[in-house]
Amino acid sequence: MLTPQQVMALKEKLLYIDNKQRKVVPFRHNTVQKLYNQRKGLRNIILKARQMGLSADELASMFVEAITIPNTTCVVVSHETLATKRLLDRIHFYYDSMEDPKPVLGSGSRTEMSFPELHSTIYIGTAGSMTFGRGDRIDHAHLSEIAFYEDGERIINAVEEAVPMDGIITMESSPNGEGNAFFEWWAKANEGRNSYKPLFFPWWLNPEYSMPAGHPLALEEDRGRLFFTEDELELIAKHNLTEDQIRWRRYKIANKGALFFQEYPEDSVSCFITAGDPVFNSFELDRMASECYEGTFHPSGWQVWIPPEEVVGSPVLAADTSAGAPNGSFSAFVVLDDLWRVCATYQKRVEPQFFAQVVREAGEWYGNCLVVVERNFTGYTVLSHLQDYPNLYYQRDFVTGKTTTQRGWWTNEQTKEHMRTALRDKLAQLHVYDINLVRQARSYRFIKLKPVAQTFDDLVISLMIACAVKKVSGVARGFMGVTPGWNW
């Protein structure tokens, strides 16, 4: 039996591979392949990001063993027919690109490659079609993308019976939720309750997962220098990521949403939460969706369901601002009255100065209602254009309940949780007629154990702020300057 180091040396000496540039080059181990070969044992279970090259490496190892060790039987199991064909084509490529002398190849088939003079064979098949007899012996088994097998437990048990104690079994997959054999075996391996060595390979180990500034596929606002979020700063500090890697991550998340964290895991726990549980009650959102219809449009661009003369109590206009960049976030507001009805909504990509004019006009239209502007980033610009508006919200101290001197709403991790809680608490009382707002609320899922929006969330952010302000301050309170002596 060859050592892993001997197998690695033979792969690089004998084999060729077609790279991403479609050129045939000598086989050279990438970062992940080197780590795997250094760490692997006789029983391995691998949790990984997509396209890390581990299947190609395992196939190369099997091929080298089959042509150098007589009487070797290797088995590769895939989750689908097309993937099986690609794996078999990969092994044929290793053989075809080898320099002479080559071992004699047996008669080919759709499921195997044999070397009759060595009595060695490599079998490849799909999980649904693979069967193993009681007397079968397998020296090296590789179960590819096992989380997607329909009957993974059966395959694992069959392979375990066929592979002797000095043989090799490797299971590898990207995550696919918790309801499958891969998750069960991974969890047990992490807890030391089976003989498998757990190996985790996050996406940033692949140097190809990077995107330079100015790349045409980068989000437009990310083509220059990046300004990092708290989540990104934590990843950078913990894993020494580069700006180009963060830019690639943003591009992928924009296209894949919650699936990014499944297909490109960043830790070995949260990646099994496939698309996350909903943050807000799905039944209430279904009820809201059934009440939705298209409102009338005010000449200045906001959509109206409850006009000023039908509003009950003292409405609140809550606004989420943006820079107005093409393909960037939206500027948005909602108007909420005392019956918890969303009276009007607005969502457009406009510059902060223009948005301030729209907010002022809408606030005045609703009787100089209380206007709450998120003051983060571009919110300061909007607030500077609204400083003479007669009914502007001032931030309250959540501990003392007193009004501070800070205009607008400040969003951070603590106030975000307060906002989400306020919306959850009032969800059953809310009447929302804007289907776009309902869609945004639906998109909030628990990803990596944190609430994350899977699409633009400007309207739902505005609604959360409105709910939080109304819940705390009641009817048109929590601001300064309207009635002498009110400072709460």
**Containing structural domain, residue 48:** 4-201
How much is the pLDDT for 448? 59
Does 10 lie in the same domain as 152? Answer: yes
> What domain count does the chain have?
3
Number of neighbouring beta carbons within 10 Å of residue 102: 12
Does 172 lie in the same domain as 102? Answer: yes
Q: Distance between CA atoms of 448 and 228, rounded to whole angstroms? A: 18
How much is the pLDDT for 262? 85
Q: The domain that contains 132 carries what CATH number?
A: 3.40.50.300
How much is the pLDDT for 15? 92
Using the Cα atoms of residue 176, residue 179, residue 181 and residue 182 in order, give the sign of their dihedral: positive
Whether 480 is in a domain gets the answer no
Whether 305 is in a domain gets the answer yes
Inter-residue contact 258 to 265 (CB < 8 Å)? no
Whether 237 is in a domain gets the answer yes
Q: Distance between CA atoms of 412 and 406, rounded to whole angstroms? A: 15
Does 262 lie in the same domain as 287? Answer: no
How much is the pLDDT for 133? 57
Does 312 lie in the same domain as 458? Answer: yes
How much is the pLDDT for 171? 95
Does 197 lie in the same domain as 165? Answer: yes
Whether 353 is in a domain gets the answer yes
By DSSP bridging, strand 24-26 and strand 16-18 are antiparallel
Reading the chain (488 residues) residue by residue, the pLDDT tens digits are 788 889 999 999 999 888 878 889 999 999 999 999 999 999 999 999 998 989 999 999 999 999 999 999 999 998 877 778 888 888 899 999 999 888 998 876 778 889 999 999 998 888 877 776 566 899 999 999 999 888 888 889 889 999 999 999 999 999 887 778 898 899 888 878 889 999 999 999 999 999 999 999 998 888 888 888 888 898 999 999 999 999 999 999 888 877 788 889 988 877 775 455 688 888 888 888 888 898 999 999 999 999 999 999 999 999 999 998 887 789 999 999 999 999 999 999 999 999 999 999 999 999 999 999 999 999 999 999 999 999 999 998 766 678 888 999 999 888 888 999 999 999 999 999 998 898 888 878 776 567 777 678 999 999 999 999 987 654 433 333 333 333 32
How much is the pLDDT for 447? 63
Q: Is 45 helix (H, G, I), strand (E, B) or coil?
A: strand
Q: The domain that contains 359 carries what CATH number?
A: 3.30.420.240
For residue 166, the one-letter residue type is D
Candidates 419, 404, 406; CA nearest to 488 is 404
How much is the pLDDT for 443? 77
By DSSP bridging, strand 342-348 and strand 403-407 are unpaired
Domain boundary among 228, 250, 272: 272
Candidates 366, 360, 364, 321; CA nearest to 343 is 366
Q: Is 444 helix (H, G, I), strand (E, B) or coil?
A: strand
Does 189 lie in the same domain as 227? Answer: no
Q: Distance between CA atoms of 88 and 396, rounded to whole angstroms? A: 65
How much is the pLDDT for 487? 33
Does 294 lie in the same domain as 264? Answer: no
Does 131 lie in the same domain as 192? Answer: yes
Does 454 lie in the same domain as 418? Answer: yes
Candidates 371, 324, 323; CA nearest to 344 is 371
Inter-residue contact 237 to 228 (CB < 8 Å)? no
Phi and psi (nearest 5°) for 236? -60, -45
Instruction: Write down the pTM of the prediction.
Output: 0.61
| Burial class of residue 244 in the structure, from the number of CB atoms within 10 Å of its CB (0-12 exposed, 13-18 middle, 19+ buried) | middle
Does 70 lie in the same domain as 28? Answer: yes
Number of neighbouring beta carbons within 10 Å of residue 477: 18
Whether 215 is in a domain gets the answer no
How much is the pLDDT for 475? 40
Whether 264 is in a domain gets the answer yes
Structural tokens at position 311? 């509003």
Does 37 lie in the same domain as 96? Answer: yes
For residue 402, the one-letter residue type is K
Domain boundary among 201, 235, 259: 201
If phi > 0 it is left, if psi is from -120 to 50 it is alpha, else beta; for residue 328 that is beta
Whether 488 is in a domain gets the answer no
For 109-147, the DSSP string reads: -SSEEEETTTTEEEEEEETTT----TT---SEEEEETGG
How much is the pLDDT for 119? 93
Whether 207 is in a domain gets the answer no
| Burial class of residue 47 in the structure, from the number of CB atoms within 10 Å of its CB (0-12 exposed, 13-18 middle, 19+ buried) | buried
Does 17 lie in the same domain as 68? Answer: yes
